[in-house]
């Protein structure tokens, strides 16, 4: 019996070897084999396909193009000729605003604060900063020029910039524009020259910071006495946007003293008609009006009338000399 079992095992093993031997001779189909060989042949060293320098140049160019903010922030109210271009739009109750990328619009000290003015029965929606006519005014943040305009009874010549951080800044009583509408500017770049145009009684910069039309107290963002911002972020709040932060009148007085000591030529000039003031005359040309002469010479119609004993409705005769200072 054992002999028969051994014989059966030997026969089975022989059959398995024969089958295995036969399986080893199987070949892949010619079409599949040719495709496989073709794929192998097409494989290349990846180093030959990627250039580090070309990739770096591409990425650098990509970021260079992205330095300028997306255009979607320049849509809402962009064509508006109003200072508040967001009339009727929904404004969030609070908003965190990045103000770290700032520049001081002018190094002057505060000559008139933000807030209600009983004398004029109106709210002063910005801060007045000391400068002389012709001094450079700079962009407070990166942004695009939304509007350059003239308002005889208000801002005089003024510029409005819209910024990627959500703010708009207003620069008033200017004497000359250095930018045009839709022009993109960086923080600290010159945008205008200071002046005394519009409703103004002396050379200064009227500076406003607005969020969707809401006139924020600039002293809530800027520490003018120390020429910096209070913090890198400012949180707009509908309940508190009119309030300053860390406002210290004594600090501003000390900065004003230091500023005038370092810039004696920019001390407040003597009033018109007093000793030491330099008079200046203008020869009236055909088509001139008091408002045109005032805007050209960095003064106001009221001041012209006061200097020359004229009424606001006076007719000017060509060739006549009038005082503008």
Spatial contact of 105 and 138, defined as CB atoms under 8 Å apart: yes
289 vs 114: CA distance, rounded Å: 33
Spatial contact of 277 and 253, defined as CB atoms under 8 Å apart: no
Average the pLDDT over 61-70 and give the result. Answer: 50
321: its two tokens: 């000399």
pLDDT at 179: 97
Split at pLDDT 50, 70, 90, the class of 41 is low
Length of the chain counted residue by residue: 325
pLDDT, one tens digit per residue, over 241-290 is 999 998 788 899 999 999 999 888 777 553 333 333 456 788 888 888 88
262 vs 285: CA distance, rounded Å: 40
Give the whole-number percent of the chain exceeding pLDDT 90. Answer: 49
Give the whole-number percent of the chain exceeding pLDDT 70. Answer: 74
Give yes or no for residue 125 having a pLDDT over 80. yes
List the Cα angle 38/41/45 in 5-degree steps.
Answer: 140
Cβ neighbours of residue 311 under 8 Å, at least 6 residues apart? Answer: 305
Higher pLDDT, 144 or 298: 144
Average the pLDDT over 221-236 and give the result. Answer: 96
177 vs 191: CA distance, rounded Å: 6
Radius of gyration from C-alpha coordinates of the chain: 37
Give yes or no for residue 234 having a pLDDT over 90. yes
Share the mean pLDDT of the chain: 81
Give yes or no for residue 297 having a pLDDT over 90. no
pLDDT, one tens digit per residue, over 206-228 is 999 999 999 999 999 999 999 99
Give yes or no for residue 47 having a pLDDT over 90. no
Q: Find the DSSP H helices in the chain.
A: 2-23, 30-42, 52-65, 249-262, 290-296, 301-308
Spatial contact of 138 and 277, defined as CB atoms under 8 Å apart: no
Answer positive or negative: Cα dihedral of 181, 187, 190, 196.
positive
Longest dimension (CA), the chain: 147
pLDDT at 65: 46
Q: What number of H helices and E strands is found in the chain?
A: 6, 18
238: its two tokens: 């509908």
């Amino acid at each position: 019996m054992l002999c028969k079992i051994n014989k059966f095992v030997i026969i089975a093993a022989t059959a398995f070897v024969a089958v295995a031997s036969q399986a080893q001779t199987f070949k892949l189909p010619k079409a599949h084999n040719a495709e496989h060989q073709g794929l192998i042949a097409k494989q290349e060293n990846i180093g030959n396909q990627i250039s580090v320098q070309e990739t770096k140049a591409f990425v650098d160019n990509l970021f260079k193009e992205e330095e300028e903010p997306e255009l979607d922030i320049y849509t809402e109210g962009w064509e508006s000729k109003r200072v508040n271009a967001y009339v009727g739009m929904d404004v969030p109750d609070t908003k965190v605003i990045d103000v770290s990328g700032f520049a001081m619009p002018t190094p002057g000290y505060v000559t008139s604060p933000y807030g209600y003015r009983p004398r004029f029965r109106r709210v002063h929606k910005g801060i007045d900063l000391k400068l002389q006519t012709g001094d450079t005014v700079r962009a407070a943040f990166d942004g695009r020029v939304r509007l350059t305009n003239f308002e005889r009874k208000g801002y005089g010549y003024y510029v409005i910039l819209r910024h990627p951080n959500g703010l708009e800044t207003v620069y008033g009583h200017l004497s000359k524009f250095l930018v045009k509408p839709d022009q993109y500017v960086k923080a600290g770049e010159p945008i205008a020259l200071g002046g005394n145009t519009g409703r103004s009684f002396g050379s200064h910069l009227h500076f406003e910071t607005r969020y969707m039309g809401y006139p924020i107290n600039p002293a809530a963002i800027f520490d003018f006495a120390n020429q910096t911002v209070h913090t890198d972020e400012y949180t707009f709040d509908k309940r508190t946007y009119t309030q300053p932060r860390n406002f210290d009148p004594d600090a501003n007085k000390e900065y004003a003293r230091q500023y005038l000591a370092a810039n004696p030529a920019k001390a407040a000039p003597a009033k018109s008609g007093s000793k030491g003031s330099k008079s200046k005359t203008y020869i009236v040309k055909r088509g001139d009006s008091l408002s045109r002469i005032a805007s050209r010479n960095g003064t106001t119609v009221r001041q012209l009338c006061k200097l020359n004993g004229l009424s606001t409705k006076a007719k000017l005769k060509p060739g006549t000399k009038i005082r503008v200072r």
